[in-house]
Amino acid sequence: MATNDELFKKIVSHAKEYGFVFPSSDIYDGLSAVYDYGPFGVELKNNIKNYWWESMVQHHENIVGLDAAIFMHPTVWKASGHLDAFNDPMIDNKDSKKRYRADVLVEDHIQKIEDKITKEVEKARHRFGESFDEKMFRETNPRVKEHQAKIDEIKKRFYPALERNDLAEVKAIIEDLGIVCPISGTRNWTDVRQFNLMFSTQMGSVNEEAGEIYLRPETAQGIFVNFLNVMKSARMKIPFGIAQIGKAFRNEIVARQFLFRMREFEQMEMQFFVKPGEELKWFEYWKKERMNWHLSLGIPASKYHFHDHEKLAHYANAATDIEFDFPIGFKEIEGIHSRTDFDLSAHQKFSGHKIQYYDQETNEGYIPYVVETSIGLDRTFLAVLSHAYKEEKLEDGTERIVLSIPPRLAPIKAAILPLVKKDGLPEKAREIMDNLMYEFRCFYEEKDTIGRRYRRMDAIGTPYCLTIDHQTLKDNTVTIRDRDTMKQERIKTTEISDILKANLKTIR
Ligand code: GAP
């Protein structure tokens, strides 16, 4: 079995070979942490977007959409705190010249100790079988207690240091824990420094007074500054949400993880405006809803967990990440944050505009509180792709690579394949293609043996192959081949559309 590292490399190269994801500017050897989506990638990405949009906007009467510009007034970023505080603490290793996020180095160290605890627990579970009481074991086993005490001690020192922005203490913690650079293996560290992640550019020509503006690092601020416009124009009443899908940009320090950490990426965000005091109820509601959305992709629950934030941002009173089991380990795919009235209050202060909601029932005005759900589109793409990627050994001894992408998200829904390139089969196949192409994203192919064509369709995750053979000309039937079971059935050409519709409707 491939290790996770090997598997990750295989997924990256499969994504390139089969037209899902290319490095940006590939003929110039790429641009670090920037990627282009190819012919099948863009279809999958659009299908994920549509599925999210439908479940958030179309299925909730009280959520409406928005498409705000990427460029925003520079004061937005002063108000939001990004200019002053959208920083990562970074540290360089003087020997390897590699740069790391200081907080990630410490968190990885904590994770290693947690892995040791998990190992002890699993060993004991195996030993004691059904009578195993995990809670009691964790509370009484001396080795587990020792590991846990270490973790608690690190956290007690580390999170307050981050909170105080005490970078000297963060460095001291890295040194005291004996953390080494994974490349050079040494502890020869520079001081920890803060690094702002926003990209900036100039607006206006050089002759005019060109002003510095920023590429938005999150789509959320476009929603906050449009709160009044949307509320008034769409006649929204609290509680209500505004959803948006769009590009965001971050000058990431550690950017070597394919679609996981990009410098240009896409977010699908929803800000839900609620009455102050009700935010924690809605926070719980959205936690559940969003986890259900992930599970609806047909990926097992064991691949997800919540990771509640220990260190809350100064504006949040609750925050959790939904983490997915990527080939690089469990990592954040979506953040759910209770952001209080921080953003709207800040924009009220900096813009001078009163940003309030007037409650007609109680006759009072207030600044709404916000619960945000923020999911990375590219990370979701990576989750779907990496879960779908399978290498299978078949009964006849051959092998195939198949992407078992949920049919509804699959880039191509049906392949139309004439068995041979003669005897009137291509003409018949074209006729079927012409009938289906306005309903489903189809793909016509007549080159190569039918076996090879099936393999290619498996490799891009096409759920159905329709084969047109000599019998089709006699009785208007085709074979329909299921990607996952590889079983074939004969169906009438007049049934194709209904069968596809029924099977492509559900996500699983
Ligand atoms: N408005 C809140 C916000 O932006 P975040 O946790 O910084 O919160 C939300 O980002 C989501 O955006 C993450 O859960 C992740 O899926 C995605 N994301 C963040 N940075 C990313 C990056 N560099 N590359 C790809 N996706 C990223």
| Spacing, Cα 260 to ligand 1 middle (Å) | 9
pLDDT category, 22, cuts 50, 70, 90? very high
Cβ of 335 less than 6 Å from ligand 1 = yes
Ligand 1 centroid – CA 206 distance (Å): 34
Tell me the C-alpha distance between 278 and 492, whole Å. 56
The atom number, within ligand 1, closest to the CA of 377 reads 16
Q: Whose CA is nearest to atom 20 of ligand 1?
A: 261
Output the CA 374–ligand 1 centroid distance in Å.
7
Q: Tell me the C-alpha distance between 411 and 46, whole Å.
A: 9
Helix/strand/coil for 214: strand
Q: Are 462 and 455 in contact (CB under 8 A)?
A: no
Residue nearest to atom 18 of ligand 1 (CA): 376
Cβ of 223 closer than 6 Å to ligand 1, yes or no, is no
Helix axis angle for 425-436 and 496-505, nearest 10°, is 50
Q: Is the pLDDT of residue 66 over 80?
A: yes
- Average pLDDT on 21-35 reads 95
Q: Is 88 in the pocket of ligand 1 (CB under 6 A)?
A: no
User: Best substitution site from 332, 334, 340, 377 to test ligand 1's pocket, by max atoms within 8 Å of Cβ?
Assistant: 332
Q: What's the token pair of residue 428?
A: 């018949």
Instruction: Report the pLDDT value the prediction gives residue 388, as an integer from 0 to 100.
Output: 97
Could you tell me which of 3, 35, 121, 139 has the C-alpha nearest to residue 379?
35
Residue 173 CA to residue 178 CA, distance in Å, equals 9
Q: What is the pLDDT of residues 245-283, one digit of tens each?
A: 999 999 987 667 899 999 999 999 999 999 999 999 999
Residues paired with residue 248 on neighbouring β-strands, in sequence order? 265
Give, as one character, the DSSP assignment of residue 190. -
Q: Whose CA is nearest to atom 15 of ligand 1?
A: 376
Residue type, 348: Q
Q: How far apart are CA 412 and CA 440, in angstroms?
A: 8
The model's pLDDT over 458-503, given as tens digits with 9 standing for 90+, comes to 999 999 999 999 999 999 999 999 999 999 999 999 999 999 999 8
> CA–CA separation, 6 vs 1, rounded Å?
9
Question: For 301, phi and psi rounded to 5 degrees?
Answer: -60, -30
User: What average pLDDT does the segment 167-181 reach?
Assistant: 96
The whole-number pLDDT of residue 3 equals 63
Contact status, residue 60 vs residue 236, Cβ threshold 8 Å: no
pLDDT at 253: 78
Using the mean position of ligand 1's atoms as its centre, give its distance from the Cα of residue 259 in Å.
11
Ligand 1: atom nearest CA of 380 is: 16
**Average pLDDT for 76-103:** 93
**Which pLDDT band, with edges at 50, 70 and 90, does 1 fall under?**
very low
Beta strands in 281-352 (DSSP E): 304-308, 318-326, 329-340
* pLDDT tens digits for range 288-312: 999 999 999 989 999 999 999 877 8
Task: Determine the Cα–Cα distance for residues 175 and 161; give it in Å rounded to an integer.
Answer: 14
- Ligand 1 centroid to 335 CA: how many Å? 8
Q: Name 255's Cβ contacts closer than 8 Å, sequence gap at least 6.
A: 32, 33, 261, 262, 263
Pairing of strands 211-214, 193-196: unpaired
Tell me if 267 CB under 6 Å of ligand 1.
yes
Distance 333 CA to ligand 1 centre (A): 8
pLDDT score, position 120: 94
Most confident by average pLDDT, 46-60, 124-138, 201-215: 46-60
Is residue 210 pLDDT above 90, yes or no? Answer: no
Judge if the beta carbon of residue 387 lies within 6 A of ligand 1.
Answer: no
Which residue owns the Cα nearest ligand 1 atom 22? 261
DSSP 68: -
Query: Which residue has a Cα nearest atom 12 of ligand 1?
Result: 376
Sign of CA dihedral 70, 42, 29, 325: positive
Residue type at 243?
A
Of the candidates 463, 458, 449, 444, the one whose C-alpha atom is nearest the C-alpha of residue 419 is 449
Residue 262 Cβ contacting ligand 1 at under 6 Å:
yes
Q: Does the Cβ of 220 fall within 6 Å of ligand 1?
A: yes
> CA-CA distance, 281 to 298, in Å (whole number)?
27
Helices 377-388 and 4-17: crossing angle in degrees, nearest 10, is 100
Ligand 1 center–CA 267 separation, angstroms: 7
> How much of the chain, in percent, has pLDDT values that exceed 70?
97
Per-residue pLDDT, 506: 63
Q: Tell which wins on pLDDT, 323 or 207.
A: 323
- The answer to whether 93 and 183 have CB atoms below 8 angstroms apart is yes
Q: How close is the Cα of 422 to the center of ligand 1, in Å?
A: 52
**How many Å lie between the centroid of ligand 1 and the Cα of residue 375?**
7
Burial class of residue 175 in the structure, from the number of CB atoms within 10 Å of its CB (0-12 exposed, 13-18 middle, 19+ buried): exposed
pLDDT of 389 above 50: yes
Range of lowest pLDDT (76-80, 253-257, 311-315, 354-358): 253-257
Render 76-104 in DSSP notation, one character per residue: HHHHTSHHHH-EEEEEEBTTT--EEEHHH
Whole-number average pLDDT of the chain: 94
What integer pLDDT is reported at residue 39 of this predicted model? 98
pLDDT at 228: 97
